[in-house]
Homo-oligomer: A and B are copies of this chain.
Amino acid sequence: MKNPIITMLTDFGTKDHYVSAMKGVILSINPKCLLIDISHEVRKQDVREGAFILGNAFSYFPKGTIHLAVIDPGVGSERKPILIRTENYFFIGPDNGLFTIAAMKDRVRKVIQLTNKRYFLSNISSTFHGRDIFAPVAGYLSLGIKPDVFGKEIGKWVKLDFSEPNIKGDKLLGKIIHIDSFGNLISNIDQERFLKFINAHSFSIKIKNRKVSHIKRGYWEGRDKELIALFGSGGYLEIAVKDGSAKSILNAKKGDSIIVERGRA
């Protein structure tokens, strides 16, 4: 039998004992789990950033993988602990929108509010549900316990509004939604939308008072320090600088606007 895979995404960092305590809890329940870190460096309490990173990683894992994600500013409050069953995966964590991108991409089948304390640690702190609720539920789920056993099905779950680009006349108005550790600026404009909007016209891309007029095929095509545009590995329009950081050069930040302007035919 294949060993079950549990991925983990948190904003806990890797210095403290928080992540390893969760791993210990899971392995105490099911020592056969394969634990894979997606990221523990999500910006503190930035649920949107977590949703983006999870949304870009989850689908590469084998069918049946359990994705455990804890960015949880409301830990201990009334926010619900949930388990989402999608077409191919399981997601476990707080009901605060963290699963918006991933779960919607993979089609939600069922959402369970975690209420069955039999599958929690016996003492539940009010500050660390990652260790006390989410990790043990992931461990038990990996043993083959059915989702319904963990709680009651609920109809609604929190979805965050990730803004889509707008069209205004000859302009496609987008935003920078992620900046990776290379300093590449990733926008919310996907390739299909871009091509349909451009429709074979000429175009220019504006960001932070700079203009880019061509799409490159790869980072290597730029000249040294040149600002370039390309479609990145997630399929989104990206601003980069060869051998440099577009973030630093443009002093860019998440939320900055990026505008594609269509020329005449």
Contact = CB atoms under 8 A, between A and B. Distances in A.
Interface of A: 2-3, 5, 7, 12-18, 20-25, 27-28, 31-32, 34-42, 44-45, 53-54, 56-62, 65, 73-77, 125-128, 131-132, 180-182, 217-221, 230-233, 243
Given A14-B14, A23-B36, A24-B60, 4 more contacts: A12-B181, A15-B180, A44-B182, A75-B220
A21 B56 contact: yes
Contact of A57 (B20, B31, B58, B181): B20
B180 A57 contact: no
A77 B220 contact: yes
Closest 6 interchain pairs by CB? A76-B218, A24-B60, A128-B233, A13-B181, A15-B41, A17-B57
Contacts of A12: 181
B14 A40 contact: yes
Number of copies: 3
B20 A62 contact: no
Given A2-B31, A3-B31, A25-B60, A74 B220 contact: yes
A72 B119 CA distance: 39
A234 to B, nearest CB: 8
B35 A20 contact: no
Contacts of A76: 217-221
A15 B39 contact: yes
A58 B23 CA distance: 11
Contact of A127 (B22, B57, B230, B243): B230
Nearest to A26: B60
25 contacts: A5-B31, A13-B41, A14-B37, A14-B39, A15-B39, A15-B180, A17-B39, A17-B53, A20-B36, A20-B39, A21-B57, A23-B36, A31-B34, A35-B36, A44-B181, A60-B131, A73-B219, A75-B218, A76-B218, A76-B219, A76-B220, A77-B221, A125-B232, A126-B217, A127-B218
